[in-house]
């Protein structure tokens, strides 16, 4: 069984619509939707925002649903100039940009684990699935929705992601992140926490992030609308290819 997590209900709504043979379980103020998606047994859940919420959800998912793999999907803010709204980031290494236990550990280093970042599992299949989705992009995404968010030529990028319990919305913070973690290309609030739990439980982890904004003062889009009509549909298209 594959566990699929998002931070917001809107980010997996399209997947929920496609889920077959659905059963639900209520645990820890979360609803876990178990069923079949494109012929694959899955469990879907939205974790809520932030590292604590996503770590708690991931732990429950692993302990109660016997998942062999976890995929996180959702939106992120770009902190690299070559990323645009609508681009897909398949995560490579995940950093907690707000973790600093100095002088006991180096900045970003996870206590006890002594790792500054956590790697995702082999991403080739997910990268292929994302590129196949872009080949059939307009079969999934309505033209008026792509025009609304000025999505023109979306691309897939394999890169590092920075996670932290704060919404990044200023150029000053972006420059600080660029200097601290030069390899990070986007920023969000959950991925590295999920990656840590998966690492400790030895569960393969992958992450799909859809760029919704440029994490600056102009980051004022309608997030629920973007998550529902863009990010959710991206996840549907990518995972349809991934599970085939």
Q: How far apart are the C-alpha atoms of 57 and 90, rounded to whole Å?
A: 21
- Is 213 catalytic? The answer is yes
Catalytic annotation, pick one of 10, 109, 213, 214: 213
Chain centroid to CA 192: 10
- Map tokens 């932030």 to a residue: 50
Provide the number of structural domains found in the chain: 1
Q: What tokens were used for 150? A: 């000025």
104 lies in which domain range?
2-243
Kindly give, in sequence order, each residue whose CB lies less than 8 Å from that of residue 135, ignoring residues fewer than 6 positions away: none
User: Does the bond joining 103 to the residue before it have cis omega, within 30 degrees of 0?
Assistant: yes
Q: What is the pLDDT of residue 170?
A: 84
Task: Encode the chain (244 residues) as per-residue pLDDT tens digits.
Answer: 999 999 999 999 999 999 999 999 999 999 999 999 999 999 999 999 999 999 999 999 999 999 999 999 999 999 999 999 999 999 999 999 999 999 999 999 999 999 999 999 989 999 999 999 999 999 999 999 999 999 999 999 999 999 999 988 788 899 999 999 999 999 999 999 999 999 999 999 999 999 998 766 555 567 788 999 999 999 999 999 999 8
Helices and strands (DSSP H and E) totals, the chain: 9, 10
Q: How far apart are the C-alpha atoms of 115 and 173, rounded to whole Å?
A: 24
- Is 64 catalytic? The answer is no
Catalytic annotation, pick one of 11, 109, 160, 214: 11
CATH number, domain containing residue 182: 3.40.50.1580
What's the burial of 199, exposed, middle or buried (CB within 10 Å: 0-12/13-18/19+)?
Answer: middle
- Map tokens 């000053």 to a residue: 172
pTM for the model: 0.95
32, β-bridge pairs: 25
Q: How far apart are the C-alpha atoms of 239 and 19, rounded to whole Å?
A: 12
């Amino acid at each position: 069984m594959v566990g699929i997590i998002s931070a917001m209900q809107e980010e997996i709504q399209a997947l929920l619509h496609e889920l077959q043979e659905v059963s639900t379980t209520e645990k820890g103020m979360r609803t876990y939707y178990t069923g079949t998606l494109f012929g694959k047994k899955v469990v879907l859940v939205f974790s809520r925002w932030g590292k604590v919420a996503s770590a708690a959800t991931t732990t429950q998912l692993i302990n109660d649903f016997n998942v062999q793999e976890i995929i996180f999907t959702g939106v992120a803010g770009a902190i690299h100039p070559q990323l645009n709204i609508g681009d897909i980031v398949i995560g490579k290494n995940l950093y907690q940009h707000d973790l600093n236990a100095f002088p006991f550990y180096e900045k970003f280093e996870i206590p006890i684990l002594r790792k500054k970042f956590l790697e995702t599992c082999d991403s080739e299949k997910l990268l292929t699935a994302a590129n196949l989705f872009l080949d059939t992009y307009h079969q999934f995404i309505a033209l008026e929705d792509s025009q609304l968010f000025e999505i023109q030529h979306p691309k897939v990028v394999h890169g590092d992601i920075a996670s932290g319990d704060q919404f990044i919305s200023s150029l000053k913070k972006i420059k600080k992140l660029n200097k601290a973690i030069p390899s990070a290309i986007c920023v969000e609030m959950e991925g590295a926490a999920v990656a840590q739990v998966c690492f400790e439980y030895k569960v393969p982890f992958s992450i799909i992030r859809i760029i919704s904004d440029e994490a600056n003062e102009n980051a004022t889009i309608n997030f629920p609308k973007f998550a529902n009509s863009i990010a959710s549909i991206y996840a549907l298209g990518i995972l349809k290819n991934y599970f085939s």
